[in-house]
Amino acid sequence: MVDKIKLAVIGAGSSYTPELIEGLVKEKESLPVGEIAFHDVDAARLEIMAGFCRRFLHHLGHEIPIAVTTDLRQAVEGATFVDVQIRVGGNAQRVLDEKIPLKYGVVGQETTGPGGMMKAFRTIPAMLQIARVVERHNPGAWIVNYTNPTGLVTEAVTLHTRAKIAGLCSGALFPRWRVSEAMGVPEDSVRYDYVGLNHLSFAFNVTVDARPVTDEEFDRIAEVAARGFMDPAILRNLRLIPSPYLQYYFHTSKKVKELKARTLSRAEEVLALEQEAFAAYSDPACDTKPEALAKRGGGGYSEIALDVMKAIYAGREKTIIVNVPSRGAVKGLPDSAVVEIPCRVNAAGIVGLNVAEVPKSVWGLIAAVKNYEQLAVEAAVTGSRDTALLALLAHPLVREYDVARPLLEELLEANRDYLPQFFA
């Protein structure tokens, strides 16, 4: 029996918080949480979410006291895990990340391309601040990060602080969901090798109950995994299951056209969904997850977080896909390069497992995007416009100087209030 722990949730005003609460209740036997501290810079959202989560816990038949604070140190002190899920500038800034690149014929997306870079620029300084508080006041704690872009955020934290961090994304479960659906088998019978970066990952060597899938079965998986994102012929040819975000690389022009044709960008849709969700959360009679939450993209959010916490704290060692510095696991990338790979997670921490071979067909793409990511992390920390420009020149979705330069200027200007490092 393990002792009860404290969990800190930074960015607790996020509409995803109830999913985490639900996960905690589901796992209450294996990970007994005796205390939760909610922190957010938005005191109003924080109060609403705390009120709702108390009712939700009660509805689920489980009581955990939720303390609310806007003092980071207070939230972090004594916590075994510090769950971080912040969005600097909110979805309002995300609208600009998605729309401005489109004016230049470039993909506009939350995490992929120049939009993701701007999110990294806004987020990394705040994330480093959180990590430094953890490092100073509770160095034994693990940061469990869901803040996007999770790969870049994790790389910044591991480069510039000694805080322990697990960079997570529910996207790592995507191949499992699709294989299970295509084959009609339980999710836990599915295994695969996996390599790449966050939102630039590939699953391969798929097995079901330890039996490699046949070519015919893979073709069926390809149909299901590509659905709504890309041409299944790509998967059949690669013999890989790419993250859905590869649609922006394999169908770039088509996606730019589709994004331009939308009446509302995804962030505008999310703003409306958030309004709906928060109206429900504010209602003192509401004690179940609002419908609007199911229309968000972060399904499976708490599953990996809980798996990581159980493996580290409760002796449930497991191989889990996490964003970690490569440290030799992916040959040819710098040791500091954060990669999304299967890791051995246990009480001793998180160690990336060696990737025997990165598929040749996508090696160049992974290396190029990693190159962009490393430059973007450097620019986020130093506030150097020159480095930011180099990052866009290295990005396969931008690359052209004549596009990158004015695009960068406009993006920086649109983010002026959130980027003191670039406007000092």
Q: Which residues bind ligand G6P (CB under 6 A)?
A: 110-111, 148, 169-171, 266, 270, 296-298
Shortest reach from residue 91's CB to ligand G6P, in Å: 8
Residue 148 or 180: the one with the smaller Cβ distance to ligand G6P is 148
The packing angle between helices 252-261 and 90-103, to 10°, is 120
CA distances from 87 to 110, 258, 268, 407 (A): 11, 26, 15, 22
How far, in Å, CA of 26 to CA of 421, rounded?
42
Shortest reach from residue 154's CB to ligand G6P, in Å: 13
Shortest reach from residue 373's CB to ligand G6P, in Å: 15
Residue 36 or 277: the one with the smaller Cβ distance to ligand G6P is 277
Shortest reach from residue 148's CB to ligand G6P, in Å: 5
Please provide the size of the chain in residues.
424
Shortest reach from residue 319's CB to ligand G6P, in Å: 20
Main-chain phi, psi angles of 324, to 5 degrees: -140, 160
**Position of minimal CB gap to ligand G6P:** 297
Residue 41 or 173: the one with the smaller Cβ distance to ligand G6P is 173
Shortest reach from residue 201's CB to ligand G6P, in Å: 10
How far, in Å, CA of 422 to CA of 411, rounded?
12
Q: What are the residue numbers of the active site? A: 245
Residue 148 or 326: the one with the smaller Cβ distance to ligand G6P is 148
